[in-house]
Structure 1
Amino acid sequence: MNKLPRIHGGPDGQGAPLHDFSTNSNACGPCPLALAAVQQADATRYPDPGYTDLRRRLADFYGVDAGRILLAGSASECIFRTTAWVRQQGDNTVSLPAHAYGDYAHAAQAWGLRVVASPDDADLAWACEPSSPLGQNHGPWPAWLQGDAAHAASTDQVLVVDCAYAPLRLDGAPSLGNAQRQRVWQLFSPNKALGLTGVRAAFAIAPLGAEAAVAQLDALAPSWVLGAHGVAMLQAWTQAATQDWLLTSLHSLRGWKASQVALLQGLGWTVLPSDTPYFCARPPQGVDVPALCEALRARGIKLRDAASFGLPGHVRLGVLPPAAQQALADALQSLSPSKVVEGACF
């Protein structure tokens, strides 16, 4: 079996970039209230192994029964555990978004699930909305989700919607209504919206009536799947002041995004549409994307080559403040075209 490469944005073997456009973390962060909660967390004691208070807070915040809350060490941990659970049930097929986070495929490979093209043919179907890397709505959805509740009840497919970027939506509207969302698994990882990606913690909301499945997935998790810092961050997520900060940050991000898009377009780039504070873009014709990313990384600027998402010739850029944008513009203008054309060496 050929192991799929694990490629992520953020710090790498060279350390943390000075200007990191390669991640989707909220550039207005970290959220002060959430950061304070994490810093003040009591790391001298185990958390409550049942996470009673945290489950209640999350359930109240989302207006669901606490029995529908599944806690996870991170979104990635939940992806792998869910895949293992599906395989444990005897299922063996999975569908993936056309362009998506690599851990869906990594988990499928690890647990021997066969990837199928259509979500209608899959035992486990992954969706992400807004998507990454494109920041657009997901599609197509399985046919059963478009029907009535009785039709939905007849399926045993596990459909998981990764909602990691839903709190960062700047434009547009979700493609699923509330009734449809109650029929699917919804996976949340608030660390991106809070600008605290180094704190690993996530949770999922199970479909209506799926409390037994939550118990089965809980049984597959180790004790204390969340540490004290993850608990503190998720508790802070449910506070009104945190949500107020998030709304204010979205206003700033809209302005920064508009200027970043205009900057790249002014330099001859093609920017793909997105509803989020990240987007994909294609440099001018003839520019070699890996060479460009390498040249910029040497200047303290990191972009995400979108080839690993199935979009060769494109990069994904998170929206950063004006100073970082100016650094990017200066670096791009300083690079001789001969240094970043296809096949060039540095």
Structure 2
Amino acid sequence: MHLPQHAYGDYAHAAQAWGLTGVDAPDAADLVWACDPASPTGQNHTGWPGVLDRRTLVLDGAYAPLRLSGAPALTAQQRDTVWQLFSPNKALGLTGVRAAYAIAPVHAQPAAAALDVMAPSWVLGAHGVAMLHNWAQPEAQAWVAQSLDVLRAWKRQQISTLENAGWTVMPSDANFFCARPPEGCDFSALLTTLRGHGIKLRDTTSFGLPGWARLGVLAPEAVDALCGALQA
């Protein structure tokens, strides 16, 4: 199994539970797990589109509805040939509601039926069902689309503020990005100090990016609070 270089640990844990062995190269894997865009970087997971015809590919699109720039790694026709996973709780600001859905490849009906048989008899709570039902409504889709313009403006301001304060910001196409404080800064001490001001940054060490933080794009008031804490 091939996983993104920087990713949540859940993927590797699940693979281990199924007895799958991780490999570095997509060409050497029977199963390729890709994210588009990926967390924590907000970038496309690279190196995997070339194995579409030769490997089973699962595309995690949890952050796809929140793409603010760039283009998907696969065309719509290519996406029809892979397994796609979506969890709209992030786009709807309901991250505590754990509900998702999968779209099978167009020619994978037997595999989809086998997967359905493996599923537990009660896979979602009523709140998850309600979220997925409303996600499919035109009104919800229109609201998300309008929100992207707001997020783009907030992101530009947030990145500019951090760069003016000496931070290094990694490129990102999503509503989050990775940033590193100025050189010479004690990162661990900074996180502790900010926590004392009621601000928590996501340390990305567990993602394989020590010294960086993952920041969600937030309203200007939140950025002002971060800047005030940094100055203090």
TM-score (norm 1): 0.65
Q: Residues 251-330 of structure 1: matches in 2 within 5 Å?
A: 251-330=149-228
- Aligned-pair identity in percent equals 64
Cα–Cα, structure 1 residues 142 and 320, in superposed 2: closer, same or farther, change >3 Å? closer
Q: Does the 8 Å CA contact 1:169/1:277 hold for their aligned counterparts?
A: yes
Q: Map residues 127-166 of structure 1 onto 2, 5 A cutoff.
A: 127-141=34-48, 143-145=50-52, 152=53, 155=54, 157-166=55-64
| 2:30 pairs with one of 117, 123, 147 | 123
Instruction: Give the equivalent residue in structure 2 for 1:192.
Output: 90
User: 1:142: Cα distance to partner?
Assistant: 5.2
Structure having greater relative contact order (Cα 8 Å, sep ≥ 6): 1
Tell me which amino acid in the other structure corresponds to 1:224: W
CA displacement, residues 181-229 of structure 1 (integer Å, 9 cap, x when unaligned): 1111110000000000111100110111111111211122211101111
Find the counterpart in structure 1 of residue 81 from structure 2. 183
Does the CA-based 8 Å contact 2:203-2:213 persist in structure 1?
Answer: yes
1:139-189 deviation digits (Å, cap 9, x = unpaired): 1015332xxxxxx2xx4x321010011100111111211121111111000
Q: CA contact under 8 A between 2:60 and 2:86: conserved in structure 1? A: yes
Structural mapping, 1:1-346, within 5 Å: 94-141=1-48, 143-145=50-52, 152=53, 155=54, 157-334=55-232
- How many residues are aligned here? 232
In structure 2, do the counterparts of structure 1 residues 263 and 181 end up closer, same or farther at CA, with 3 Å as the change threshold? same
Q: Tell me how far 1:117 sits from its aligned partner.
A: 0.6
Amino acid at match of 1:132: S
Q: How many Å apart are 1:102 and its aligned residue?
A: 1.6
- Whether the aligned pair in 2 keeps the contact of 1:129 and 1:166 (CA below 8 Å) is yes
Structure 1: distance between partners of 2:84 and 2:130: 21
- What is aligned with 1:340? none
CA RMSD of aligned residues (A): 1.2
8 Å contact 2:26–2:51 — kept in the other structure? no
Q: Which one-letter code corresponds to 1:183 in the other structure?
A: T
Contact 1:164–1:187 at 8 Å: present in 2 too?
Answer: yes
Q: Which has the larger radius of gyration?
A: 1
Counterpart AA for 1:331:
A
Is the CA contact 2:36–2:44 (under 8 Å) kept in the aligned structure 1?
yes
Distance in 2 separating the partners of 1:293 and 1:105: 27
Paired residues of 2:41 and 2:170 also in contact (CA < 8 A): yes
Letter matched to residue 134 of structure 1? T
Query: Which deviates more from structure 2 when the two are superposed, residues 311-320 or residues 211-220?
Result: 211-220
Tell me the SS of whatever aligns to 1:191: coil
Gaps of 5+ in 2: none
In structure 1, the gaps of 5 or more residues are 1-93, 146-151, 335-346
TM-score, length of structure 2 as denominator length: 0.96
Alpha carbons 2:49, 2:74 under 8 Å: kept: no
**d(CA) in 2 for partners of 1:187, 1:305:** 26
